[in-house]
Amino acid sequence: MTETLADTVGTRPPLILVKDAPTPEPAPTDPVVEAVDRADNPLADWLSVPDAPVLPAWARSAASIKANAAAFGRLTWWHTQYHGFRVPKYLFKTVLLAARGFFRATMGLWPTLSAQDHTATVKALRAQVKARPEDVDLATRLQMAHFDRTRTRRWRFGAAAAGVAAAAVGIALADPALQAGIAGAVVTPLAYLGRGKETHLLDQGAPPLRVDMSAQQLNDALRAAGLLKSGRANEDEKDAPRVSCSMGPVRDGRGWAVIFDLPRGGGKTASDVLAKREVIAQELGVDEIQVIMSRVRASKGGNAGRVSMWVADDDPYLGKPNPSPFATAERFSIWDPIPFGQDARGNRIEVPVMWQSMFFGGLPRRGKTFTQRLMTAAGLLDAYVRHYVADGKGGADWMPMRAVAHRLVMGAEDDAIEALKAMLAELLVEMERRFAILRELPTSICPEGKLTPDIVQRYNLPVIFVTIDELQEYFTAMEREDREQVINDLCRIARRGPAAGFVSNFASQRPDADSVPTKLREIITLRYSTQVVDRASSDMVLGKGKAAQGADASVLSEDHVGTGVLVTGPASYVTVRADYLDGTGFATLCQKGRTLRQATGQLTGDAAGDVTAAADASGVKLPPILSDALEVMRHSPRMFTTDLLAGLVNLDEDVYGDFNAERLAAELEAAGVKRTSKQVKISGTNAAGYQRRDIEAAVPAEILLAHG
């Protein structure tokens, strides 16, 4: 089953595609003809409501049947192990119960075998003898009557004793297998007779479930959260309003699923339930991260008071991360939905990005950049995607993009800021050029005035993927005028660019009004947030009021690395554990992307002339100090030694944290760098430094001749 959550912002609604969701949804209401509501129609009540599902909830999809069959198998195996270890205990308990049963049988039969239950005649005579003990004739008559009464029972008692003795001798001489069968046939009824009403032969074992939800627990939780009214004072809760469940609670994968309607007359809606997620979780005895709630819309047969809720047995976002399919893929089309991750139930989440803009936010070291790179990675495997990349931090995360990126800006120093401004200006010119081309194309080629896969290749207009990480670094380093200009440029690209084939992919650690202005964040269509400190910060990333609707990234913990809340519209969100693609895998993808572009003639811009990337592609290993120094000086023809050291430390603090000017000079000299001058002049100031041309001169000649 595929669930689609659509946004109303943008040229085309963004989608979250949920693959193989096991939870069945109620069928939508069928259209009703006008004659149904007539008073003389005896079938009006039946025809004016949707048909009830024929199959139970767990049997309405192949995935659900498979999941329940697997769960039944695990339950059977658990019980087999549980009772298997207790077989010696059960045997000993059976013998004790059989002994008790034999005692009870003997005590029950003894009065009959011993003729203690005399007839009425014998009892009457005995009473007369007690009254007249001197009457010998009466005593004789009593003795004769007693003899006649017990004659048959003596024969029965003797026959029974002889039968038991003979059976004992026969069993002792029989085959062991027959002895076991006879013993079982004798012991079993005796053990059954020996058990009491509260005595059970087998232990009542049950698998340890962390959550055992029932309809009563659900009502109690909602009532405690103030969503249901209580019953009358000093009376039972029988008359209190309750929710009506259209499905469940039923087991669904690793948790419980339920779809319920709030009672009418209480003034509460589905939105009120979503806002009480933490309280409901507390009442159910779970963490709020285990509770997944959403409204059921009319298209799914819902209404303003219908809620779908799933409660996981444990934290669904912990454990070994799922590897990204891109790690082994050779090609990908950016026009297809991008494999992004899994939700709490294990359903695959795919996100279309064409015609969209994206924003990623969250605390440091929570997987924000790794997740943002998944989107860019999709474009690496499509040769007709042109990448513009800027990294305000200037670290190693985006360095592999030098093999592919048409433009690559690293860091937030003055030269990098100028390079960023030039990159945005280039993008705006390209955007207007594309709109001019699209306007002139006939409707047979460009029916909607937008880029199409055919236009991309026919007119060499590749999709433009604009990736900017650590936006706050640029905005905090800029002067006010530059900052306003860059913000306006980014807004134009995010607002108008999608129709021209621009996909914006922005990220920031501090999504406040100063770091990332509201007017930029509010026009972004897709938003993703890893853990943040509070609900206000979550709303800054995901949109105002989203936390109250249930899209709250502040409930995530520091253990939820790579997990975040993905929002695609006013009421569309899902918590996703993003696929994992490490730095090595990303670097491999960049090399694959370079090969694809070389084969199709799409390797352009900075990547075409990058000597370090060319060396990597040719299998030539440059000394790390050489390639790193060239990366730091990417935007500068010359640089002071102090600035070069600072850039290297920012690039890799573990390697360059202890470097000083003398060690730097020694390492570069060992790598083949010959300085034409130890002094450089920048903005009228002379100081110790390096020329980029001196460092490039240390690159093997065959690389320079082949690439530039």
Torsion, Cα 7 20 375 596, to 10 degrees, reads -130
Structure confidence by residue, pLDDT tens digits, 490-524: 999 999 999 999 999 999 886 676 677 888 888 89
Q: Average pLDDT of 321-337?
A: 92
For every residue of 344-371, DSSP letters joined together read TT--EEEE--TT-EEEEE--TTSSHHHH
What is the side-by-side strand order in the sheet with 357-361?
3-4, 17-19, 348-351, 338-342, 572-578, 563-569, 526-529, 357-361, 502-508, 463-469, 385-391, 407-410
Q: Which helix (H) or strand (E) holds 639?
A: strand 638-640
- In which band, very low, low, confident or very high, does the pLDDT at 27 lie, cut at 50, 70 and 90? very low
Residue 268 gets the label, from left (phi > 0), alpha (psi -120 to 50) or beta, of beta
Task: List pLDDT tens digits, range 518-562.
Answer: 888 888 989 999 988 888 888 888 888 888 878 888 888 888 898
pLDDT of 528 reads: 93
452: how many CB neighbours lie within 10 A of its CB?
17
CA distance 292 to 18: 15
Query: What does the block give as tokens for 528?
Result: 């993703």
- How far apart CA 170 and CA 164 sit, in angstroms, is 10
Tens digit of each residue's pLDDT (9 = 90 or more) over 412-440: 888 889 899 999 999 999 999 999 999 88
Strands, DSSP E only, in 368-457?
385-391, 407-410
Q: Kindly report the average pLDDT of the chain as a whole number.
A: 80
pTM for the whole thing? 0.69
Asked if 250 contacts 299 with a C-beta cutoff of 8 angstroms, the reply is no
CA 133 to chain centre: 95
Residue-wise pLDDT for 62-86, tens only, equals 777 777 788 788 878 888 888 888 8
How many angstroms separate the CA atoms of 654 and 183, rounded? Answer: 77
Q: What pLDDT, in 10s, does the model give residues 636-673? A: 888 889 888 988 888 788 889 889 989 999 988 888 88
- pLDDT by residue (tens digit) across 181-231? 767 777 777 777 777 665 677 777 766 555 667 788 888 888 888 888 775
CB 344 within 8 A of CB 550: no
Highest mean pLDDT among 179-183, 207-211, 359-363, 446-450: 359-363
* CA 511 to chain CA centroid, nearest Å: 24
How close are the terminal C-alpha atoms of the chain, in Å? Answer: 53
Rg (CA), the chain: 41
From CA 416, how far away is CA 401, in angstroms rounded? 16
